[in-house]
């Protein structure tokens, strides 16, 4: 199972949990598995068939350039990071 780091931004949905281990072969499947454990988290991370603009996902330290279709290995580290804006 992949290890997922959950930022403070979503911990109200996770009951304060900072990490979770869930199964999935893509970022989309990881989010679906997270939603089974923490109902409502997917609605905060996804917007339809895309990641929400408030979140960036990394898999094994690299930005998930393929978005929801990005592959995730069984021992991968997935991080949900709040996106930063500015100018």
CATH topology of domain 2-82: Ubiquitin-like (UB roll) (3.10.20)
pLDDT band at 87 (very low <50, low <70, confident <90, very high): low
The SS3 call for residue 79 is strand
Average pLDDT over residues 43-65: 95
Share of the chain above pLDDT 70, in %: 97
> Looking at the predicted structure, is the pLDDT value of residue 27 above 70?
yes
Cut 0.85: pTM above it: yes
Query: Is residue 38 exposed (0-12), middle (13-18) or buried (19+ Cβ within 10 Å)?
Result: buried
Q: Give the model's pLDDT for residue 83.
A: 84
Which of 63, 66, 68, 27 has the alpha carbon at shortest distance from 48? 68
Q: Show me where the domains of the chain are located.
A: 2-82
Average pLDDT over residues 51-57: 95
How confident is the prediction for the chain on average, in pLDDT? 95
């Amino acid at each position: 199972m992949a290890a997922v780091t959950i930022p403070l931004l979503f911990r109200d949905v996770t009951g304060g949990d900072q990490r979770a281990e869930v199964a999935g072969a893509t970022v989309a499947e990881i989010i679906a598995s997270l939603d089974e454990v923490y109902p409502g988290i997917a609605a905060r991370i996804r917007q339809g068939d895309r990641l929400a603009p408030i979140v960036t996902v990394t898999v094994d330290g690299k930005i998930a350039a393929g978005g929801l279709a990005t592959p995730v290995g069984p021992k991968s580290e997935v991080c949900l990071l709040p996106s930063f804006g500015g100018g």
